[in-house]
Structures are given as C-alpha cells and as structure tokens.
Amino acid sequence: MIALLLRDLRLALRAGGGFGLGLAFFLLVAVLVPLGVGPEPATLARIAPGILWVGALLACLLSLDRIFALDHEDGSLDLLATAPIPLEGVVAVKAAAHWIVTGLPLTLVSPLLGLLMNLPPDGYPLLLASLAIGTPALSVIGTFGAALTVGLKRGGLLLSLLVLPLYVPTLVFGAEAVRRGAAGMDVATPFLLLGGITAGVAALLPFASAAAVRINLR
C-alpha cells in the first residue's frame, strides 16, 4: 500500500495538473476577488471564509479527472483490479495521494491567502483546521466521481456535475466554522458536522468507488 501511495505521488507530480495548478488557482481566487468586489476591509472580512473555501473546493476539482485516467490509459488499472490488494484499498490510497498533492498544500497556504482577503485574526487557525478536516472529504468524494466517469472521453464536465452537489455540505459547514470563529462565536457544531462528513465518506465511499471501477472495467 505504501509503495502504491508513493507511486501515485510520483505520477501526480510528474504529470502536473495537481500541486502547482491547484495552488495557482487558489492564489488567483484570493487575488481576483478583492479586485472584483472592491478593497473595503469590512466587505472582504465578511466574505473571506466563503470565498476561501470555494477557492479550495474548485482547486481540488481541477485534478480529479487524473485520479484514474493515467492508470486506465496504460492498463495499470486492470492490473490493480486483479491484484491481491483489495480494490477498496487501492481507491483509498488514490484518494490519500490526491489529498497530499492537492488538499494538503492548499491547507498549508490558506493563512497567507486569508491575509490577502483581510480575514480577521481569530479566523486563521480555524481556517487551517477546517480545511485540514474538510479537504480529505473533498478528495474522497472526488475519487468516487472519478470512478464513476473512468474510461469516458471528455468526462471532466460530467465529473464536475456529479461531484459539485456532493461537495455542498462540506463547503457549508467548513465556511460556517471559519465565519463563526472569526466572529467569536461557538464553532463546535460546524466542526463536529464537518468531521462527521469526512469520517462518513472515508468509511463508505471507497466501497462505492471500487464497485464503480469494477463496473466500468467490464
């Protein structure tokens, strides 16, 4: 499993479209939004939690179609499906690799972009914590969407349409946790719900993703 994880990380970094592209998109969102809505600090502080979470969500979405595409093109996915490793484990490893390459860098750089968006000081640790808890759910859900569309030509748009509605609860509770924290309110409820979503999808969706991959390989 560790060897498979390292292989996927190397492939993601060599193929591009993950680490650098996601960070660049996240940075562009944080730079362009103040230019569009105006430089008023109060306005930026009010919308910063939602904008930063939307930027992270869309940045994660950019590289989802690559999760299974490279393995499907060279036939590796057929070998993985018949390997001694359970296909559910393979799917979980691919989701973990996607998060390490995309979600983790976005989480680490988020305080800097919060500064660009005039996020209140109390919101920085909560932004970091909410993304650390919520972005794994984005990767797992995205892996499920990629499994549904594996093998389809030009399936990127369909993948986005499938995944975006499933991202909504994570987006809502993640942004709400940051907003409440920046306002000095209690953040226990949104964080518990966010953690529950991540735990739930991590426990259930690898099985659904593996089933989808098996069906598409027949």
Q: What pLDDT shows up at residue 176?
A: 95
Q: What is the mean pLDDT of residues 150-156?
A: 73
Rounded distance, CA 210 to CA 64, Å?
A: 16
Q: Which pLDDT band, with edges at 50, 70 and 90, does 84 fall under?
A: confident
Q: Does 18 have pLDDT greater than 60? A: no
Rounded distance, CA 47 to CA 32, Å?
A: 13
Confirm if 128 and 173 have CB atoms less than 8 A apart. Answer: no
Q: What is the mean pLDDT of residues 146-171?
A: 85
Which pTM does this prediction carry? 0.90
Q: Does 9 have pLDDT greater than 80? A: no
Q: Which pLDDT band, with edges at 50, 70 and 90, does 104 fall under?
A: very high
Q: What is the mean pLDDT of residues 22-37?
A: 86
Q: Does 179 have pLDDT greater than 90? A: yes
Q: What pLDDT shows up at residue 15?
A: 60
Rounded distance, CA 164 to CA 180, Å?
A: 24
Q: Which pLDDT band, with edges at 50, 70 and 90, does 137 fall under?
A: very high
The 10s digit of each residue's pLDDT in 113-126 is 998 888 988 889 99
Calculate what percentage of the chain has a pLDDT beyond 70.
Answer: 95
Rounded distance, CA 190 to CA 181, Å?
A: 10
Rounded distance, CA 197 to CA 120, Å?
A: 26
Q: What pLDDT shows up at residue 155?
A: 65
What is the residue-averaged pLDDT of the chain? 87
* Radius of gyration of the chain, Cα coordinates, nearest whole angstrom: 18
Torsion of CA 53, 33, 21, 134, to 10 degrees: 0
Backbone φ and ψ for 122, nearest 5 degrees, come out as -65, -15
Question: Domain residue spans in the chain?
Answer: 2-217
Q: What pLDDT shows up at residue 151?
A: 73
